[in-house]
Amino acid sequence: MTATMTPPNAPTPAEPPEWMLRRSVSAGRRVRNGLATMWMLLSVLAAMVPLVFVFGYVVQKGAHVISRAWFTKDLPIVDQFPGGGMKAAIIGTLVITLWATLMAVPLGVGAAIYLNEYGRHGRLARIIRFMADVMTGVPSIVMGLFVFAIFTLKYGLIGFGGSLALGALMLPIVIRSSEEMLRLVPDDLRHASDALGARRWHTVLRVILPAALPGIVSGSMLAVARAAGETAPLLFTIGAARNTNTNVFRGPNTALPLQIFNNATRPFDAAIARAWGSALTLVVIVFVFTVIARIVSARFSVRR
Amino acid sequence: MTSLTASERDAGRNLQGNGNAGDVWADRIFRGATLVAGLTVLAVLALIAYSTTKEAWPAFHHAGLSFVTSSRWDPAHNKFGALAFVYGTLVTSLIAIVIAVPVSVGIALFTTEVASPRLRRPIVYVIDLLAAIPSVVYGLWGVFVFAAWAQPKYQTVAGWVKHIPVLNTIFGGSATGRSFMTAGIILSFMVTPIITALTRETFATVAQDDKNAAIAMGATRWEMIRVTVLPRVRGGMVAAVMLGLGRAMGETIAVALVIGSSHQITTHLFSSGDSMAAVIANEFGEAQGDHRAALIGLGVLLFVITILVNMAARLVLRMTSRDNMGSRA
């Protein structure tokens, strides 16, 4: 497995480094090199182990819960009853995340435009950039408490509170990834547009944004994927509905991550099965977003 | 970076004299709107600090310094000492870091120095998938699969070290599946992708010339890594570890499910405990009055700690990347 065992004449993807062919490299040095290579290889394998096991169990334990009713029926009246479906939570997750996206993406892209097209290396832009980086580190539960303090205490438990908390989590991610994409747009395009006498806002909207769009879309979708899987910001902001509620501005709501957390802490088989089913559904949703983001960025990016 | 500054370009346009007044205003409004969008970051951060502190104030006022020096958390008697939770947060994050750092550095080295470009991409994707799994799914798996599997292993280890000093204070005692150790291990899965991505980025900044020079001198690959890569990336690695630590400390749901929720400070890592974020998640639902204020206070504490760790990490990152640029010029 280790590179040192490769015979010199074997067809290797890269040509073998010169030291491997020399007899003068002492056994001790070869062993140390082999151990180091082994460590790196084992690290990669070690990271795969949890991935395989988590996936395996989620699919195995979640799949048999999921049927047609899973997507068409609301939750049963009490958790210990079997039957019912997860429609309320699936719809809840989608609408709450949608509203979060509607807030975070325009704001985030706007901020990125300021940072890359106007502020650049100015003092204010540097502060905003730094704080956006720092904001990505704010724990999601703190976002939940924040929304509880400024919104839920006044307006009650509604889906929009969850959207606010998720939006606040997404905002810095969207800003930093969008700015990265705007920076990849060559300055030649800006100069060309300037030379034609276009105003700055015109240049940004008609030339720069279209050029950076695939990257911005893919970065935003990764932020959506991250937000859709968050539980902590929803714990004390959206309430606990059992029926589908598509209106985030009225009445309590529910979401898949919440259903996983709540059902996992109940001592009933039906509830635990429901938790695994919700986990499978959530993982599929998150992965669809992640994969689409990857495809968009791989298919449309010219400069990478 | 050689482009004209915004004001220079605007000056040029104004001299052209072909923009009508409406256009000038459109530009100003657009710029103003993007600036407002940028300022929301600062506004939200300030608002988080203000609003949570305000809600937590009764608890801070009531408990004073004992909020962080006492470990007596007794909502029924209005006693709120968070020390046990601070301890749990630190212990679980440290376990996570101790496990995740060697693995992350190994992966980063493998992808930058060993793997062929064709192998590199899939590995990077798979490591990123590890970050895409939601925290609550890790928690669900952790409590029903991992904790059940690990409990007898913990008990075996606890039996081995029963009479060995030092080790028996860490791995001894009663061993349970829902414990600091389980929480730390689950957290290590979650921080590995972050630390890997950041260390890989810093490894990639090491000049190929330096590596070639080391190989030309007859170094093995490991010797080349040791003399050219590792000394150059110390700052980046420190920052990566700190960002991973910040993430681990704020992780809530997975920890809430697997840590076992018991208010105690113990050196036994196989015992159950609690963390700041986990307590908030588990108790907030039923909390009223001072209890709720105290839980929000825990959030304020967590916010301050993670913000400081993140700021420090970003500053280190910024300083080291500047150093590297300087040496390459």
In chain A, domain spans: 3-61, 68-300
A250: pLDDT strictly greater than 70:
yes
Long-range contacts of A283-288 (CB under 8 A, 24+ apart): A283/A55, A283/A58, A283/B133, A283/B134, A283/B137, A285/A93, A285/A228, A285/A256, A286/A225, A286/A228, A286/A229, A286/B132, A286/B133, A286/B134, A287/A225, A287/B129, A287/B132
Rounded alpha-carbon distances, angstroms, from residue B133 to A112, A227, B136, B254: 27, 11, 8, 11
Q: What is the CATH number of domain A68-300?
A: 1.10.3720.10
Q: What is the C-alpha to C-alpha distance for residues A33 and B223, in angstroms, rounded to an integer?
A: 7
Tell me the average pLDDT across B262-270: 88
With CA atoms as reference, report the closest residue to B190 among A228, A299, A54, A304: A54
Residues B181, B284 within the same domain: yes
Contacts of A298 in chain B (CB under 8 A): none
Q: Which residues pair with B74 in a beta bridge?
A: B79
Residue B148 pLDDT > 80: yes
The interface predicted TM-score (ipTM) is: 0.88
Beta bridge partners of B73: B80
Residue B209 domain flag: yes
Q: Which residue reads 């689409």 in tokens?
A: A292
Name the band, by pLDDT with cuts 50, 70 and 90, for residue A40.
very high
Over residues A191-204, the mean pLDDT reads 89
Chain B positions touching A204 (Cβ under 8 A) are 30
Question: Does the pLDDT value for residue A128 go beyond 60?
Answer: yes
CB–CB contact A142 B39 (8 Å): no
Q: Which residue of B has its CA nearest to A118?
A: B6
Give the separation between CA A105 and CA A224, rounded to whole angstroms: 9
Condensed to tens digits (0 to 9), the pLDDT of residues B222-263 reads: 999 998 888 888 888 999 999 999 999 999 999 999 998 888
Q: Which residues pair with B79 in a beta bridge?
A: B74
pLDDT at A8 over 50: no
Domains in chain B: how many in total? Answer: 2
pLDDT, mean of residues A133-145: 95
Chosen for mutation from B1, B18, B105, B141 (greatest number of chain A CBs closer than 10 Å) is: B141
Q: Is B123 helix (H, G, I), strand (E, B) or coil?
A: helix
Q: B295 lies in a domain?
A: yes
In a domain, B78, yes or no: yes
**Is pLDDT of B208 > 90?**
no
Q: Are residues B49 and B71 in the same domain?
A: no
Q: Does some domain include residue B82?
A: yes
- Residue B168 is predicted with a pLDDT of 83
Å from A206 to nearest chain B CA? Answer: 13
Most confident of A103-107, A190-194, A208-212, B263-267: A103-107
Mean pLDDT in residue range A114-119: 93
Instruction: For residue B1, tell me if it sits in a domain.
Output: no
Q: What is the pLDDT of residue B255?
A: 95
Within 8 A of B23 by CB-CB distance, chain A residues are 199
Q: Which residues of A touch B139 (CB under 8 A)?
A: 260-261, 264
What average pLDDT does chain B have? 87
- pLDDT value at position A272? 93
Q: Same domain, yes or no, for B82 and B41?
A: no
- Please tell me the predicted confidence (pLDDT) of residue A3: 43
Cα separation, B7 vs A203, whole angstroms: 15
Give me the pLDDT at residue A227, please: 94
Verify that B244 and B269 share a domain, yes or no. Answer: yes
Q: Is the domain of B168 the same as that of B43?
A: no
Going by C-alpha positions, the residue among B93, B127, B133, B122 that lies closest to residue B107 is B127
Give contacts of A191 with chain B, Cβ < 8 Å.
Answer: 3
Q: B41 and B178: one domain?
A: no
The C-alpha atoms of residue B250 and residue B230 are separated, in whole angstroms, by: 29
- On chain A, the residues whose CB falls within 8 A of the CB of B100 are none
- Distance from first CA to last CA of chain A, Å, rounded? 32
Chain A residue closest in CA terms to B224: A33
pLDDT above 70 (res A9): no
Mutation pick from A39, A43, A124, A266 vs chain B, by most beta carbons of B within 10 Å, is: A43
Contact criterion met (CB < 8 Å) for B103 and A46: yes
Which residues span the domain enclosing B20? 6-63
Token couple for B255: 């920890």
Average of per-residue pLDDT values in chain A: 88
Taking alpha carbons only, the member of A94, A279, A102, A118 closest to residue A199 is A118
Report d(CA B52, CA B301) in Å as an integer. Answer: 10
Question: Best of B10, B24, B27, B40 to disrupt the A interface by mutation (most A CBs within 10 Å)?
Answer: B40
Q: B326 pLDDT exceeds 60?
A: no
Position A140 confidence tier, pLDDT thresholds 50, 70, 90: very high
Tell me, yes or no, whether B322 lies in a domain: yes
CB B140 within 8 A of CB A279: yes
Within this chain, do residues B111 and B206 fall inside the same structural domain, yes or no?
A: yes
Q: Which of A32, A42, A199 sits opposite B26 (nearest CB)?
A: A199
- Inter-chain contact A107–B40, Cβ cutoff 8 Å? yes
Judged by CB atoms closer than 8 Å, whether chains meet at A264 and B140 is answered as yes
Predicted local distance difference test score (pLDDT) of residue B5: 56
Reported as a single tens digit per residue, the pLDDT across A154-191 is: 999 999 999 999 999 999 999 999 999 999 999 999 99
Indicate left, alpha or beta for A128 from its phi (over 0: left) and psi (-120 to 50: alpha): alpha
- B193 falls within a domain: yes
Q: Is the pLDDT confidence value at A15 over 80?
A: no
What is the DSSP track for B85-116?
HHHHHHHHHHHHHHHHHHHHHHHHHIIIIIS-
Mean pLDDT of A50-68: 93
The two structure tokens encoding residue B286: 């039923």
Q: Which residue of A has its CA nearest to B145?
A: A57
For residue B197, what is the domain's CATH number? Answer: 1.10.3720.10
* pLDDT per position as a tens digit, B5-55: 555 555 555 544 455 667 788 888 999 999 999 999 999 999 999 999 999
Residue A63 CB: number of other CB atoms within 10 A? 11
Question: Which residue among A111, A134, A228 sits closest to B307, beta carbon to beta carbon?
Answer: A134
B253 contacts in chain A (CB < 8 Å): 231-232, 257, 261
Tokens (6 digits) for A258: 């919440």
Share of chain A above pLDDT 70, in %: 90
On whether both B197 and B262 belong to a single domain, the answer is yes
Please determine, for residue B101, whether its predicted confidence score (pLDDT) is greater than 70.
yes
Note the helical H segments in A114-157: 123-135, 140-147, 153-155
Is residue B255 domain-shared with residue B233, that is, in the same domain? yes
Residue A10: predicted pLDDT: 41
Tens of pLDDT, residue by residue over A61-82, are: 999 889 888 999 888 888 878 8
Check pLDDT > 70 for residue A304: no
Query: Which of A2-11, A159-168, B36-45, B109-118 is predicted with the least confidence, judged by mean pLDDT?
Result: A2-11
pLDDT of residue B234: 85
Rg of chain B (C-alpha set): 25
% of chain A exceeding 90 in pLDDT: 67
